[in-house]
Structure 1
C-alpha cells in the first residue's frame, strides 16, 4: 500500500491541506483497492485559521513515506520552520516523492530540493521564489511541474490538479477520472495559470514613464514601436529599456505584448465581439495572429478562454 504523509505545521494554508485530505485521506477503496495509507504528520497540534489539527505522527514519520505532501506556506516573507525543512529533506533523501501545493514550494526550496530543477508556485509569489532560490528555474505559467521525485503546483485549485496527477501516476487515468467525477471537477484542465495572472500597470508616480503607460494602453489598437514609446517619453530607446526593466521587470515590447493579450482577455470576458474584432482592438491585426499569440501566452485558444471566463 502506497504511504502518503501530509507534513503540517503552524502557518500553513487550510485549503491546500483540505485538498490533500480529500484526495488521499478519504476512504476511496470503492474506486481503488487498496487505496493510500495516509497520515497527518507534525510535531505538535497545528492551528489553522479557526480550527486545530491534531497530527497522527511526528515529522520523523515523513522518512517512512512513499509520498510527502507539503501544503501552502502562508507567510512567504519568512523562512519555514527548520524542523519541517529538515524532515522534508530527510524524507526525500530516504527515497520519498515530495510534492508541494501552492507556496509549499518555499519549503522545498529551503530544503534544497528545487536547486537545478524547474518549479512553480502561485503566480503572485513566483518572483519571490526565483529571487530566494536563484538555482531554480521558476515557471510562472504552468499549473504544476513534475520532476519525477519532486513536484510543485501553482495556487489553490492547481493543488487539486497536482493531486489528481499523482493519482493518475499511481492508479491510472481511468481511476483518476473517477475521482474527478466524484469531486465534480475536470480530470485535467487545459492551459496554465497564465489564464489567471493579472498584468498590472505600475502606479503613476515620480518616474519618467508615469504618463507613458496609460498613453500606450489607450493606443493598443495602433502599431506602436519602441521608438514611438521612447519619443513619447522623451527618452532614447536605450534609456527607455532601462526604465522599463526597472519598473516592470520586462522589455517595452514584451510589456506591450502582455497588455495586448490582457486587452483581448478583457474583451473575451465582457463582450460578444468576434475574434477578428478583438484582434483589431488589441493590436494583433488578424484573428489568426491573435489565436497564435493567445495560445502561446495563455495556454488555451481564445474561444476556450471565453467559454471559461465569460460572465
Structure 2
C-alpha cells in the first residue's frame, strides 16, 4: 500500500492509512499490509497546519502498489480548476491498472481530476461536496455518505470518515475479526451507523435579502405552532401559488421542506444545550410527538435525536 502525499496535504488524513493498515495483523501477530509513503515534492511535504512530513519511499513505489491512497489535499490545480498538475499527472501514470485507488476527504478532487470518478458515485467532506460536483458534473456526488465503495475506486468523507473507510477495507480484505481488533486498538468504533448528514451544519436562514426574508422570520417565530402554507402565504400577502414559486426560487426548497429543516435545526440546538426529553422538544419545535420528530430528524440529519444528543450534547446530557 502506497500513500501519495500531494502538498499541501491534510496531515491528519495522511496518517490514517499508516495507523489503520499498519495495525492490522493476523492471528500470529504478523502484519498484513506494508504501508509506504511517497510524494511529488522535494524534501518535507508541506501540510495545511504548519508542519512537514517525510515520505519513506520514492515516487516509483507507486508502480508496485496494490493499493494507492490519496489523502486530503489543497493542491491548487485539483481543488480550484479540477485538473492535475504535471507532477501529479506523472505520479498517476505510474499507478497500475489493477491497483485499488482510495481517497480520503478532499483527495477525491485528485481522483476526479484524474478521471477516475467519472460515471461513479463518490463522496468527499460535506463542506466541499458541492464544489466537487460543480467541477466534475459527470460524478454522482453523495454528500451524505461516510464512504463509497465502487470496487476498484473508493472515496471517503472528511477526516474521521477516512478511518471508517480504512476499517471497511480491512474488513473486506481480512474479515471482521481483524478489523475489530484494529478498531479496539485505535479506540474507534468498528462500524458507524448514520451518514455525514448528522455532522452537517444546517444553515441559518437569511435575515435579510430576498423578497420573503421577513416571511421566513415570521415562520421562525412560530416553530412551536402549526403553520400551514395558506396561512404563511396570507401573512406574506401573496397567493399560495405565487408564494410557493418565489419561496422555491429563493431557498431551493418548498415552504414545508424549509420549515421542517428549521424545526430540526432548533431540535438539534435543544438536544445539545438542554436535558429536555425528546417528547418535550417535539412539542417545542412543532412536531407534536416524539415519533414525528424522530421521523423528520432521521430524514434531515440521518440519525436519531438520542444519537445526536450522545454525540453533541453537553456533558450532563451524555450521562443522562
TM-score by length of 2: 0.86
Partner of 2:70: 70
Indicate the residue corresponding to 1:84 in structure 2. 88
Alignment-derived partner of residue 261 in structure 1: 264
- TM-aligned CA distance change 1:27 to 1:173, over 3 Å: closer
Describe the superposition over 1:254-292 as per-residue Cα deviations: whole angstroms up to 9, x where unpaired. 222211211222222222222222112222222122222
Question: Take 1:87 and 1:231, find their aligned partners in 2: how far apart are those partners?
Answer: 61
Aligned twin of 1:57? 57
Matching of residues 13-52 of structure 1 within 5 Å: 13-25=10-22, 33-44=30-41, 45=43, 46-48=45-47, 49-52=49-52
CA contact (8 A) 2:81 2:135 kept: no
**Secondary structure of the corresponding residue to residue 294 of structure 2:** helix
Structure-1 separation of matches of 2:135 and 2:247: 23
Structure 2 SS opposite 1:152: strand
Gaps of 5+ in 1: none
Give the stretch that moved more between structures: 71-80 or 196-205.
71-80
CA distance in structure 2 between the partners assigned to 1:81 and 1:14 by the alignment: 20
- The Cα of 1:53 is off from its aligned counterpart by 2.4
Answer yes or no: is the 8 Å Cα contact 1:32–1:175 preserved in 2: no
Aligned to 2:140, which of 132, 137, 145?
Answer: 137
The answer for the alignment partner of 2:166 in structure 1 is 163
In 2 relative to 1, CA 40–235 (structure 1 residues): closer, same or farther, beyond 3 Å?
A: farther
Give the corresponding residue for 2:182. Answer: 179
Distance 2:252 2:80 in 1: 20
Q: 1:299 deviation in Å?
A: 2.8
Cα offset, 1:191, TM superposition: 0.9
**Pair 1:107–1:235, CA change in 2 (3 A):** farther
TM, length-normalised to structure 1: 0.88
Aligned partner of 1:6 among 3, 17, 37? 3
Displacement of 1:113 after TM fit? 1.7
The corresponding residue for 2:118 is 115
- Structure 2 gaps of 5+ residues are 315-320
Count of residue pairs the alignment pairs up: 307
C-alpha deviation, 1:107, in angstroms: 0.9
Q: Distance in 1 between matches of 2:267 and 2:97?
A: 48
The corresponding residue for 2:317 is none
SS at match of 1:200: coil
In 1: Cα distance, 2:211 partner to 2:64 partner: 57
Query: What is the root-mean-square deviation of aligned Cα atoms in Å?
Result: 2.5
* Higher deviation after alignment, 210-219 or 119-128: 210-219
